[in-house]
Structure 1
């Protein structure tokens, strides 16, 4: 699933916030209960997250993700454990005349236990990603 959002914030500020994974729980505390960095080196960052999905069912999900930051323009993330293992998110930050265009592409892999809920999970995931980027935008604009 692909979508783009146009945000007013400066690209470098927005990217800096997006690459600070521990700030995510501050931005969406009802959905992202915790984020811990468990490994960090030159090529990637591994985080452990506790998420709360509350669409049809209310379910707490523990997962680990590997993030690769590419030249201040792209964040590629892959979920490496949990019910969405194998899912990927690609976020590209592009400077625009009005601020920053963020192009987001994600592919969800849902474990068999949750397969029937795939359409709802995809819709919820897109809503959460959009909300997260709008909150990042607000944070970047308020730090001027």
Structure 2
């Protein structure tokens, strides 16, 4: 969901869509993160088995979903995976890594941007509270 971005995100997604047809782009005027996420949940195809959220200022490591899906396959009862998150104050836009002089901090805990949810868990949890700021 493009929530009224002006940073070129929609164009970047359109470029990726040419190479990866399963990517879909939905655009709306800026309504805030909760409404954007709920709009995304409403657009899920009925056969979507997993849900993940990635904001435009987040980077997901290559291979992340392959690793997460292997965990789900190995443990049928698993409904959520997550990983460490590294915060960085500067990113090399070419390599998508922190710059050599960047300050970083690695956090342990469940972060929405590092989580992969089974669809059933998301359905049971319901939508995001759109009044929460």
Q: Tell me if TM exceeds 0.5.
A: no
Say which one has the larger Rg. Answer: 2
TM-score normalized by the length of structure 1: 0.29
TM-score (normalizing by structure 2): 0.30
More strand by share: 1
